[in-house]
Amino acid sequence: MGCLGCTCSVSGSSNDKPMGCRSGGCASGGCNRMNTFDWLTSLDIADIESVDIVEVTFKNGSRKGFYRDDNAARVTTGDMVVVDTGTGYDVGRVSLTGELVRLQMKKKRVSEDTVITGVIRRANERDLERLQEARELEKETMVHARAIARMLGLDMKIGDVEFQGDKRKATFFYTADGRVDFRELIRHYAKEFKVKIEMRQIGARQESARIGGIGSCGRELCCSTWLTDFRSVSTAAARYQNLAINQAKLSGQCGRLKCCLNYELDTYLDALDNFPRGGEKLFTQVGAAILVKTDIFKGLMFYILENEKTRGKMYALELANVKGIMEMNSRGEKPADLGAVTVVVSADNEDGPLDFEDVTGAIELPPDEKRRKKKKKKNRNTGGGGGPRPPAQGQGGPRPGGPPQGNQPPRRPDNRPDNRTDQRPDNRPPRNDDRPPRNDDRPPRNDDRRNKRNWKRKG
């Protein structure tokens, strides 16, 4: 999908590519991501005062830099160039040239004296192939880097990895709540990836700007397309706009409050200046009315009576009527009722008032009948087959104290014999008489300790 400035070539051809994008296709984030539209490039007009500094963007606009162009063959906007980074060579795209570069440097507060490195030459096919190889290594490197950080137990998250064009340096962008001691981590990275390592900490918003994505509005994220300065957003912005304080709906992809909550905040604040202050409670002869809602667009304030036990009628008052009632209350006077000044609007006309009628008792829904499940009573005396358990051998006699209760088998009689060897079943193995004799030299049992324990239980 091309950006708004791209125009596709003849449909159906094999090289159907956006004509406005020199890369031959638009990746995620758009071909003009975080760029200033260079409209002077398309015009055949030479600059009176030439500027020897160009703006170069790397990795589809995720990073930018200013470089000097002192070569005889000058580059133009959209050319792929090889630049000197001080630690090697990198390949990027020229995003801005001419007098607009000075305006960008002034906006970002970059002095021309600080620009030391420059453009070496235009990139050839071999440079572009090495750049593509470096981009293919980034995803696999990021997954492996996260595994190493987790193995070391560091409280950090690797958000993105960017390789230099010559594949000699890799920059790891991470997010963390505080400072992280990653000296041991760098040793593991250098040993594993065989490149120069640079760790750079970014915030949650900067991470979303680098990754990109689609917001809840259906458009690309503002931080990844045009928003460069991040301002703090508080829940007060949502309250002024009468939005529900729902953290899931108010949060963006970065997990913070959406930046778009500040876009219309000034308009709402200017509109709220026309509403009277202290109008949360109005006093009438039938009782006090409490403010429950404010419609900023229609200029209405909705009240309900405080003395009504159930949810009663809602009164919609205009700003002039609310101010008049407040003046009466300040003089000690009370209006008879709010019904005389209530704005009544039909539901069909959006510009008219809304008729809030109490329909309590008019519409009744049938009661929701719930079927109660009958719980099956479990019989503890039944076995797995469902029938009563048979009595044990030699225990079928009645209980001495009386007849057995229910299906409970009778207990063993009290006049059981001392020697129970005769009552064993025939299938039971005989007793092993080859056991060693009992040691009669062991010390006697301490009966005082047992008597003391039994005394505590009884107490």
At residue 378 the predicted structure's pLDDT band, cuts being 50, 70 and 90, is low
Residue with more model confidence, 436 or 293: 293
The amino acid sitting at 280 is E
- In order of 85, 114, 121, 300, the CA distances from 73 in angstroms are 20, 23, 9, 66
Residues 6 or more apart in contact with residue 144 via CB below 8 angstroms: 192
Q: Do 145 and 191 share a domain, yes or no?
A: yes
Domain stop point among 173, 202, 231: 202
What is the CATH number for 140?
3.30.300.20
For the chain, the straight-line distance linking the first and the last C-alpha, in angstroms and rounded, comes to 86
Pairing mode of beta strands 169-175, 196-201? parallel
Helix (H) or strand (E) run with residue 80 in it: strand 80-84
Question: For 126, phi and psi rounded to 5 degrees?
Answer: -65, -35
Q: Cα–Cα distance between 255 and 457 in angstroms, integer?
A: 60
pLDDT in tens, 98-121: 888 888 899 888 998 889 888 999
Please give the order of strands across the beta sheet that includes 157-163: 157-163, 169-175, 196-201
pLDDT in tens, 59-72: 887 888 999 987 75
Mean pLDDT of 220-234: 86
Q: What is the pLDDT of residue 175?
A: 93
Q: Is residue 310 assigned to a domain?
A: yes
Domain stop point among 103, 123, 143: 123
pLDDT in tens, 275-300: 888 888 888 888 888 888 888 888 88
Residues 6 or more apart in contact with residue 18 via CB below 8 angstroms: 2, 3, 6, 7, 8, 9, 25, 26, 31
Q: Is residue 10 assigned to a domain?
A: no
Cα four-point dihedral sign 409, 411, 412, 414: negative
Tokens of 257: 């409050």
- Decide if 57 contacts 105 (C-beta within 8 A): no
Q: What is the pLDDT of residue 22?
A: 43
Q: Do 265 and 299 share a domain, yes or no?
A: no
Q: Do 235 and 267 share a domain, yes or no?
A: yes
- In order of 62, 87, 164, 215, the CA distances from 127 in angstroms are 20, 17, 12, 35
Residue with more model confidence, 58 or 373: 58
Residue with more model confidence, 327 or 359: 327
- Decide if 115 contacts 150 (C-beta within 8 A): no
Q: Is residue 450 assigned to a domain?
A: no
- Decide if 223 contacts 212 (C-beta within 8 A): no
Q: Is residue 385 assigned to a domain?
A: no
Q: Is the pLDDT score of 92 beyond 90?
A: yes
At residue 146 the predicted structure's pLDDT band, cuts being 50, 70 and 90, is very high
Domain stop point among 228, 245, 271: 271
State the residue range of the domain holding 299. Answer: 281-341
Looking at residue 428, what DSSP letter applies? S
Q: What is the pLDDT of residue 5?
A: 40
Written in H, E and C, the secondary structure of 106-144 is HHCCCCHHHCCCEEEEECCHHHHHHHHHHHHHHHHHHHH
Number of domains within the chain:
4
Mean pLDDT of 255-283: 89
Q: Is residue 449 assigned to a domain?
A: no
Q: Is residue 361 assigned to a domain?
A: no
Q: Is residue 155 assigned to a domain?
A: yes
Q: Do 297 and 327 share a domain, yes or no?
A: yes
Q: Cα–Cα distance between 107 and 116 in angstroms, integer?
A: 19
Q: What is the pLDDT of residue 107?
A: 87
Q: Is residue 367 assigned to a domain?
A: no
Q: Do 300 and 325 share a domain, yes or no?
A: yes
Q: Cα–Cα distance between 158 and 160 in angstroms, integer?
A: 6
Q: At what angle do helices 183-193 and 125-151 cross, to 10 degrees?
A: 130
Q: What is the pLDDT of residue 28?
A: 37
